[in-house]
Amino acid sequence: MKFHSILFVTLSLPILFSPVAGMAASAAEESCRVCHKMDSKLIGPAFNDVAARYGKDKDAIAKLKRSMLEGSSGKWGTMAMPPNAGLTEAEAERFAHWIMSLNKK
């Protein structure tokens, strides 16, 4: 029973937490949620904190996209973020825009 509950939740995430309304999130985008939550630190910083930190940075989209595709370290403490190998450049771009859109809410 526990396995079925976990499977249901896992399969429901792309529908429930799509980064762009009306568009299904990719599996690679959903893997971000293993370490990041909306409003609180999990392993990595909250999406809202990332949006706030880069809010006035004109290069925010490019920086976020690069971090997603190549990984990063030292930006949010000692924990390194690994590259998301399954994420395409287009998905990283879309997800970076979604993160930055959190500043408008």
Q: What average pLDDT does this structure show over 80-98?
A: 92
Statement: the pTM of the whole predicted model exceeds 0.75: no
Q: What amino acid is encoded at 26 in this protein?
A: S
9-56 tens-digit pLDDT: 444 444 344 444 444 566 666 788 888 999 999 899 999 999 999 999
Helix (H, G, I), strand (E, B) or coil at 2: helix
How high is the pLDDT of residue 1? 52
Distances (CA, A) of 68 to 6, 12, 30: 26, 23, 12
Sole residue written with tokens 């959903």: 30
Q: What amino acid is encoded at 97 in this protein?
A: H
Please name the residue ranges forming H helices in 1-105: 2-16, 27-31, 47-53, 60-70, 89-101
| In the chain, domain spans | 26-104
pLDDT for residue 60 is more than 50: yes
Buried-exposed string 10-19: b where 16+ CB fall within 10 A, e elsewhere: eeeebeeebb
pLDDT for residue 78 is more than 70: yes
Query: Hey, how many other C-beta atoms are within 10 angstroms of the C-beta on 38?
Result: 12
The architecture in CATH of the region 26-104 reads: Orthogonal Bundle (1.10)
